[in-house]
Amino acid sequence: MRSREALARDLMWEFASRTGLVGGAPPRRYLWTDAFAVCNFLGLHRRRGEGRDLDAALRLVGQVHRVLGRHRANDARSGWISGLPEDEGERHPTGGGLRIGKPLPERPPGEPFDPDLEWERDGQYFHYLTQWMHALGRVSSDTGQAIFHRWAVELALSAHAAFTRRPEGGGPPRMVWKMSVDLRRPLVPSMGHHDPLDALVSYLTLRPGAREDTAAALDAAIADAEAMASAAGWATEDPLGTGGLLLAGCRLLPLLGAGSDDRSALVHRILADAEAGLDAFARSLTLDRPAAHRLAFRELGLSLGLRAVERSGPVGRPDLDGQLAGLSRQRALAARVEAFWVEPAHQRAPTWADHLDINSVMLAASLLPEGYLGI
């Protein structure tokens, strides 16, 4: 079999051509997929230092901001979704969040909610925004350019203000799952299972490099996220959700030992719930089904999380090292998922073709996890 790097490289450059990142096709951007794609191109650049890989990551950031940071071509509104003037919007492209990139326009005011149709409508998802925060942080780390970190912090603060709701009777704040493109009205008011945790992990990882003028606001957002996550349970049978927990725990590991702000107890909770999710997924027998009855990107999110654990320990803490070692023993599951979806016969299944971009990018991420992790 060809090397993991070679497979990932082919997947990413085919994605680049297919979605208009290179070549003459109009850009087709989707925030979740593009966040992982940025990290993948950084991972390829780490392997060989080829300028075109880094150029692709930077070009993708620019395209996402110019496409998803602005109103759709078929929208009566125009310009930056933040409402900023043209030049100021260029300087602060994440100040109003970023659109999802769904095929249909957002649900207009007054139109009844249709849960099936809503999946295809545009708007803003908080958990997509946190992935873009991570991607911008990775670009800043790999290039040494602070502007990308600044954009990530601006996105964090604008998203937190828009998605967070404070109950009139008191109590911890809550988060809205989906907002309108302009962040002015909720489209789905329920709270996502992992959104408060995504918020907390994202804000904590951005805090060390925050400038003085944003540090206080970021600290307040961290306090809100901690309140929302304090009594939460995150275990899930969804492999993508469990993979997200594994990634969250690994992203917090570099912050351990920071005095009174130590996060070891939080990491322990995250990894324990991830382990419960892994057990539940194993009992589901999903991996025994044919390709036509499986969703590759969800399984590959889990395999990426397992690859992250494999590369992240030990950390010199007996309790956490025991958890990491136990989870690392599940790496055979990651190998099984990757081997299944690398097979051309399985990529001919409708479930692969229907989600080609996200499937390809998530497979590349699992094959080359250092791009997402930065280690």
Q: Evaluate whether 201 touches 252 at the Cβ level (below 8 Å).
A: yes
pLDDT at 262: 74
pLDDT digits (tens, 9 = 90+) for 314-371: 998 998 999 999 999 999 999 999 999 999 999 999 999 999 999 999 999 999 999 9
pLDDT at 258: 55
pLDDT digits (tens, 9 = 90+) for 1-28: 579 999 999 999 999 999 999 998 999 9
pLDDT at 191: 95
Size (the chain), residues: 375
pLDDT band at 261 (very low <50, low <70, confident <90, very high): low
pLDDT at 208: 93
- Enclosing H/E stretch for 225: helix 212-229
pLDDT digits (tens, 9 = 90+) for 88-119: 999 999 999 999 999 999 999 999 999 999 99
pLDDT at 24: 86
pLDDT digits (tens, 9 = 90+) for 138-182: 999 999 999 999 999 999 999 999 999 998 888 889 999 999 999
The C-alpha angle with vertex 260 and arms to 256 and 265, in degrees rounded to 5, equals 50
Average pLDDT, the chain: 95
- Other C-beta atoms closer than 10 Å to the C-beta of 290 total 9
HEC string of 278-345 equals HHHHHHHCHHHCCHHHCCHHHHHHHHHHHHHHHHHCCCCCHHHHHHHHHHHCCHHHHHHHHHHHHCHH
pLDDT at 184: 97
User: Which tokens is 202 given?
Assistant: 């994202």
pLDDT at 132: 98
Q: Evaluate whether 124 touches 98 at the Cβ level (below 8 Å).
A: yes
pLDDT at 373: 95
